[in-house]
Structure 1
């Protein structure tokens, strides 16, 4: 959270110099680019610090299970869709988050909380897989976009 406060204080001072319409435009462009970078990073299965997401826990084989039924596709494929990952902007700021029921799933993985695997199944503590966060490239991109808007 400290990195968010530092970014907010630095960017807030620069954004306050812009007119409200220009500020809204700058924030909209920053939100769009941040959303794109978050989607790309989630697709690559990476945390903001560059480390890989912890892999899924292997399931024990059962006699009646079909072979290969463990989902091997990339995690969070639907979460990164525009339908679920939303960006909101106004003259005061921007917010990127998840909408609807998937927000709960995202929160559980973001903070590594416990949840039930199935509706009446066992409880499992999920490892923290940071879905939304700032990487060094994101900070540079925000700085460059802000400076471009200030120069025009």
Structure 2
């Protein structure tokens, strides 16, 4: 059983005790805090287990390239924006994911899939960089928020 199924079975039993409105409110609070923690972790370039993301592959220097022009900024800066990383809640559940065209980029990096570097360009297998996942702190936060909503 993976960690998402274990969390779902544990939290589902607690959430079933709440009314639909209270369940929606609890899931909204959890979704807000969980997206905030995911954004922070992506900004820190960390996998959920605490290890650092694998660095970008160094590009070969070409004669026409200007020296020092390789992008050295943090990866996934735009992916963690609120318009792309979204949480959707209703009385039935909570879903956190990427919206729009960036969902494809996120999926490729999340699972370490292959993709073309540029249209018509060479194929490259990206290393797995886990964008969405649960840390120990996330599990504790979810537990605390659930208990706060169940026992006011």
Tell me which interval the TM-score lies in, with the shorter structure as reference length: over 0.9
Find the aligned partners of 1:99 and 1:92 in 2 and give their Cα distance.
20
2:37 match: secondary structure: helix
Partner residue, 1:84: 84
Structure 2 gap ranges (5+): none
Deviation at 1:67, TM superposition (A): 1.1
Is 1:149 aligned to 2:149, yes or no?
yes
Q: State the TM-score, normalizing by the size of structure 2.
A: 0.99
Partner residue, 1:128: 128
- After superposition, the C-alpha distances for 1:6-26 in whole angstroms (9 at most, x for unaligned) are 000000000000011000000
Find the aligned partners of 2:42 and 2:128 in 1 and give their Cα distance.
13
Deviation at 1:106, TM superposition (A): 0.1
Task: Return structure 1 stretches of 4+ with deviation > 2 angstroms.
Answer: none
CA RMSD of aligned residues (A): 0.7
Deviation at 1:130, TM superposition (A): 0.2
Partner residue, 1:110: 110
Q: State the TM-score, normalizing by the size of structure 1.
A: 0.99
Find the aligned partners of 2:16 and 2:56 in 1 and give their Cα distance.
44
Is 1:96 aligned to 2:91, yes or no?
no
Q: How many residues align?
A: 152
Structure 1 gap ranges (5+): none
Find the aligned partners of 2:83 and 2:120 in 1 and give their Cα distance.
28
Partner residue, 1:72: 72
Find the aligned partners of 2:44 and 2:148 in 1 and give their Cα distance.
28
Find the aligned partners of 2:135 and 2:3 in 1 and give their Cα distance.
10
Find the aligned partners of 2:129 and 2:90 in 1 and give their Cα distance.
29
| Counterpart mapping for 1:13-92 below 5 A | 13-92=13-92
Find the aligned partners of 1:127 and 1:10 in 2 and give their Cα distance.
32
